[in-house]
Copies of this chain bind each other. A is one copy, B any other.
Amino acid sequence: MNSAVSKVIRAFPAPEGTLHGALLDNLRQMINQGDLAPGIRVPERMLCQKFSVSRTPLREALKVLAAEGLVVLLPNRGARVTALDEAQLCHLFEVIALLEAEAGRLAASRIGAAALAEIQGMHYRMYAHFLRQELPEYFALNQAIHEAILDAAENPVLKATYMGLAGRLTRARYLANQNQPERWQQAMDEHEMILATLIARDGDKLAKLLAQHLANKRDIILKSIRMSSEGEAAAPAL
């Protein structure tokens, strides 16, 4: 039922039965939840102890995360979580908006009745969580709906690319949701429009709505960053 909640964002699925695959999931989660602060050095030993594995699979996982842009590897100086400054965030959103708008356009013409019903169902469940102000559940379904639109576009490359970039935003988006609950109602309204337009199969309008939805999200995140870095001296990185 709530299987969408535990879904992991990943462009290319790693083998399930391997340690480095499991490590990828865990490290992603740690980064997204903020357990690994951006910018600070991440000692391999510590992570090895935490996950009870040797350095070999851990280092493989770090290489993959680096290839995805979630961490940066400095030669002989370890890995650190990528810090997202405002400029990079805007760049990320510029591309993500492009991809999701195109996905909406494609989805409007390609989506089938079953997938449409599925999205509708998720939408109403999300609405219920919104009414009860249950943020984690709302957040998960929100992501699931956007994913479903990407699925409906029926272009695996488009989806994988989107997932890879969206994964880099997960942490920022979650923080913004926590910091700016007053924007919640507006986001919910936008989702109502998005669903209606998808049902109407108006691809161009849907593309515009999704792009605007993301632009709003971006502004919220930017405001949230500026808020949280108010007292700190010139450290507006996330």
Q: Which residue numbers of A lie inside 8 Å of B, CB to CB?
A: 11-12, 14-18, 20, 56, 59-61, 63-64, 66-69, 73-75, 88, 91-92, 94-95, 98-99, 102, 155-158, 160-161, 165
Contacts and interface: CB of A to CB of B under 8 A. Distances in A.
B88 A95 contact: no
A88 B161 contact: no
A39 to B, nearest CB: 17
Please list the 5 inter-chain residue pairs (A to B) with the smallest Cβ-Cβ separation, ordered nearest first: A15-B75, A91-B157, A64-B67, A91-B155, A67-B67
Given A16-B75, A94-B157, A161-B161, 16 more contacts: A12-B67, A12-B68, A14-B73, A15-B73, A15-B75, A17-B75, A20-B63, A59-B60, A61-B63, A63-B64, A67-B67, A67-B68, A91-B156, A95-B99, A95-B157, A161-B165
A32 to B, nearest CB: 17
A158 B95 CA distance: 6
16 contacts: A11-B67, A15-B73, A20-B63, A60-B63, A64-B64, A64-B66, A67-B67, A88-B157, A91-B157, A91-B158, A92-B157, A94-B157, A95-B99, A95-B155, A161-B161, A161-B165
Contacts of A69: 11-12, 160
Contacts of A73: 14-15
A107 to B, nearest CB: 13
A220 B64 CA distance: 33
Contacts of A75: 15-18
Contacts of A15: 73-75
A100 to B, nearest CB: 11
Given A11-B67, A15-B75, A18-B75, A158 B94 contact: yes
Nearest to A162: B95
